[in-house]
Amino acid sequence: EADIYQTPRYLVIGTGKKITLECSQTMGHDKMYWYQQDPGMELHLIHYSYGVNSTEKGDLSSESTVSRIRTEHFPLTLESARPSHTSQYLCASSGPGDRVAGELFFGEGSRLTVL
Amino acid sequence: KNQVEQSPQSLIILEGKNCTLQCNYTVSPFSNLRWYKQDTGRGPVSLTIMTFSENTKSNGRYTATLDADTKQSSLHITASQLSDSASYICVVSDRGSTLGRLYFGRGTQLTVWP
């Protein structure tokens, strides 16, 4: 079973609030990712990291930001939440290996609702 | 544009029956294809990986096939169980992509009724 944890699992907040979604993994994986998932739609990559102090934006434009100060920790922050940010956010990691992405290990997700 | 299309969008079967889920892709150059199972309210979990040279691979009651010529894959579930109710997601990676950039299908929502 994968050792990757996300908190909170569910969050309901008002417009304009700052939120941070936490993601931690204990597998020592160097690569970590944030995906956004809406019902009936495919997962969209919003941020990824190859290692400490390395972060990149993904394919889907997002107003969120991420940081990677420690290998095991990859938090996502929204400075001012809006209703359009309502979604499921999935954190994932993958281990060392060949250049092309190996198996992704996902957390259980953070479901964000902005009122 | 690289795409992954899955069918059917949703499927309802009775417990004990078999079913087959389809995945067609246009991703090129192809590297590998994975099937993930996502239970409601959980993150996806990898079921199997298919590389270019593999045609069939089994994982318990799950059997995946790959036809690299027609760019099609299928996931066959044998003797379905209630716990098979989930979304099954096809994910294709290409050999030219930056690590972490994968192509996801929208998933097939499978419901197994008793």
Q: pLDDT digit string (tens) for B10-46? A: 999 999 999 999 999 998 888 889 999 999 989 999 9
Q: For B28, phi and psi rounded to 5 degrees? A: -150, 140
pLDDT digits (tens, 9 = 90+) for A8-35: 999 999 999 999 999 999 988 999 999 9
CA distance B24 to B90: 9
Contact call for A40 and B97, based on CB within 8 A: no
Instruction: Find the chain B residues whose C-beta atoms sit closer than 8 A to any C-beta of A.
Output: 4, 9, 31-32, 34, 36, 41-46, 49, 89, 91, 93-95, 97, 99-102, 104-107
CB of A63 less than 8 A from some CB of B: no
pLDDT averaged over every residue in chain B: 91
| CA distance readout (Å), B25 to A52, A97, B44, B45 | 34, 24, 20, 20
* Residue-wise DSSP of B51-96: ETT-SEEEETTEEEEEETTTTEEEEEE-S--GGG-EEEEEEEEETT
Is the model's pLDDT at A101 over the cut of 80? no
- Closest residue of B to A31, CA-based? B100
Q: How many C-beta neighbours within 10 Å does residue A1 have?
A: 5
